[in-house]
Chain A
């Protein structure tokens, strides 16, 4: 590895202007498993509601690599001569950033959730022989370690895949930079928010990344932190992430259709013919071993769903769901409730609301003559939305500073001690992190040959709202 990194290749990018690429990075980018990311959309089905939201995980991965490089460069500027981070370590971090999303399934989180539902029920601690399916992180680490092309190129540059995986897993203790790759404001989010804002046309995330990055330093524990002067910019980005989530990821068209996508993907898992997909732990490992993984992308999945539709002429329920996904005929959000609540109570409140609604669905299905199987209660897969990954709270569960590895941190000029933003008395995040945003929706899939127009939806909505007391929209 040379003493300094050189960047013979520059890639033009709408967010960062230019992304600088070393020769090694270029050869890694050329690997089939990385090129595959061109065909995995970053935002899944968001383009159903936001037509330009169709950028790929490939461009995001290049962006995260660029941001990571700049963050380290900034830390290095603040270090004394003789104590600079060396080129080989910088290269490792940039490669970790480049490869951080390499294990994403087609349609990313939707498929991962479907896999978890189908193959992941039960705990290996309670059921003998149960093997958990691979989530995208574990799958990514497996690819970095076992993909022949990738590992051969790393070996040619004398890079041990374990060092890259160690960074992604947070096991690298040489530098305490895990919060640069996994925190409220890591390289991943900095690129994601800026890129999504540009592609969706939404204003959230339009922050001066350069301003944030130029003030990055290390605290006395070796953690990466931002200049305290940037506190408002950080809050803006954390709020931007909340607005981005609620406006786009949980848009009723996107979230409702995504639920149905999970349903129809599970149908592919159940099949016994040539369109079956095996995403069990062993099935995915075999896909990688037999070099089929690079072809397993969004396009391949959509093609199988089209074939599933062709082969299911008599199954009206499945066809109604497939129509939503394949022909953009989204399910109707018959009723929607939203509320803010203290973080500690949020999961239980949502779960109670969901149970109450589910107990009523049979009655509504009968009353409105729509098959029970076309109704579903939506709640956020990952639970109520939080404003920060890191928790904060005053009411008996105030997390200690040593329990907030995922909080963005700030440090005043001249100081050596940083503060977690969630615990910062001058930050609105100190308050917001104690709350969660809860949402539940009742969705109805229009049956084949029927339309659920505004008037019909209104009647259903009134009934739901009369039956269950929630903070309805």
Chain B
């Protein structure tokens, strides 16, 4: 039952962020991973732990869970909703997750950039210059857009102190 609730919460969480549940390709799964990371960063904690890996913050527990909902594929129970605080917090970042027109790569790359920059700043404690340098070294394809990512994260308070 607890496991079911966890999966239900995850699916509602993705719905609140306007994110698809699709996990067929690596880009789909990257998008889902980074969306959940950013939703949690906004204060809607589902309990997933992220560590730094090749494409930025990655949670193996989350991989387990989207496997599980792929296997069970049950309908969302009626009348179950995210608690209002979570819904509000996710609503606040939903727009930021949409790729801006000036970002010319795919949606999943946009979320990779947002999540990676956020992780480097907030989880690893790097300053802007070091985080930017790290992205240039490890994610050269995204390095032109770091300032845009910073601005977007700031616009929804994700880089604020205590967040």
> Which residues of A does B touch, CB under 8 Å?
116-117, 120-128, 132, 137, 166, 169-173, 176, 178, 182, 221, 344-345, 347-348, 389, 391, 396-397, 399-403, 405-406
What is the distance, in angstroms, from B121's C-beta to the closest C-beta of chain A? Answer: 11
Which residues on the B side are within 8 Å of A126 (C-beta)?
5, 8-9, 12, 80-83
User: In this assembly, does B95 line the interface, its C-beta being within 8 Å of a C-beta of chain A?
Assistant: no
A344 and B13 CA atoms in complex are apart in Å by: 23
User: Contacts A117-B2, A173-B52, A176-B52: A125 and B44 contacting too (C-beta < 8 A)?
Assistant: yes
A359 and B6 CA atoms in complex are apart in Å by: 24
Binds A, one of B55-63, B96-104, B145-153, B155-163: B55-63
Which residues on the A side are within 8 Å of B123 (C-beta)?
169, 171
Q: Does A173 contact B120, Cβ atoms closer than 8 Å?
A: yes
The closest CB in chain A to the CB of B25 belongs to A400
Q: Does A171 contact B124, Cβ atoms closer than 8 Å?
A: yes
User: In this assembly, does B75 line the interface, its C-beta being within 8 Å of a C-beta of chain A?
Assistant: no
The closest CB in chain B to the CB of A396 belongs to B24
Q: Does A125 contact B55, Cβ atoms closer than 8 Å?
A: no
Which residues on the A side are within 8 Å of B140 (C-beta)?
none
What is the distance, in angstroms, from A468's C-beta to the closest C-beta of chain B? Answer: 21
A163 and B72 CA atoms in complex are apart in Å by: 39
Q: Does B124 contact A122, Cβ atoms closer than 8 Å?
A: no
Chain B interface size range = 35 or more
The closest CB in chain A to the CB of B16 belongs to A125
User: Contacts A172-B124, A403-B63: A125 and B13 contacting too (C-beta < 8 A)?
Assistant: yes
Q: Does A221 contact B124, Cβ atoms closer than 8 Å?
A: no
Q: Does A344 contact B71, Cβ atoms closer than 8 Å?
A: yes
Q: Does B5 contact A405, Cβ atoms closer than 8 Å?
A: no
A169 and B124 CA atoms in complex are apart in Å by: 11
Which residues on the A side are within 8 Å of B58 (C-beta)?
402-403, 405
Q: Does B53 contact A125, Cβ atoms closer than 8 Å?
A: no
Q: Does B2 contact A116, Cβ atoms closer than 8 Å?
A: yes
Which residues on the B side are within 8 Å of A345 (C-beta)?
71
User: In this assembly, does B1 line the interface, its C-beta being within 8 Å of a C-beta of chain A?
Assistant: yes
Which residues on the B side are within 8 Å of A137 (C-beta)?
49
A347 and B60 CA atoms in complex are apart in Å by: 17
Which residues on the B side are within 8 Å of A347 (C-beta)?
67-68, 71-72
Q: Mark B108-150, 1 if CB is under 8 A from A, else 0.
A: 0000000000011001101000000010000000000000000
What is the distance, in angstroms, from A133's C-beta to the closest C-beta of chain B? Answer: 11
B67 interface neighbour in A122, A171, A391, A406, Cβ under 8 Å: A391
Q: Does B51 contact A121, Cβ atoms closer than 8 Å?
A: no
Which residues on the B side are within 8 Å of A122 (C-beta)?
2, 5
Which residues on the B side are within 8 Å of A120 (C-beta)?
2
Q: Mark B1-35, 1 if CB is under 8 A from A, else 0.
A: 11001101100110000000001101001100000
Q: Does A125 contact B51, Cβ atoms closer than 8 Å?
A: no
User: Contacts A166-B124, A178-B52: A406 and B83 contacting too (C-beta < 8 A)?
Assistant: no
Can you list 7 A-B pairs, Cβ within 8 angstroms, ordered by A? A123-B5, A166-B124, A169-B51, A173-B52, A401-B54, A403-B63, A406-B60
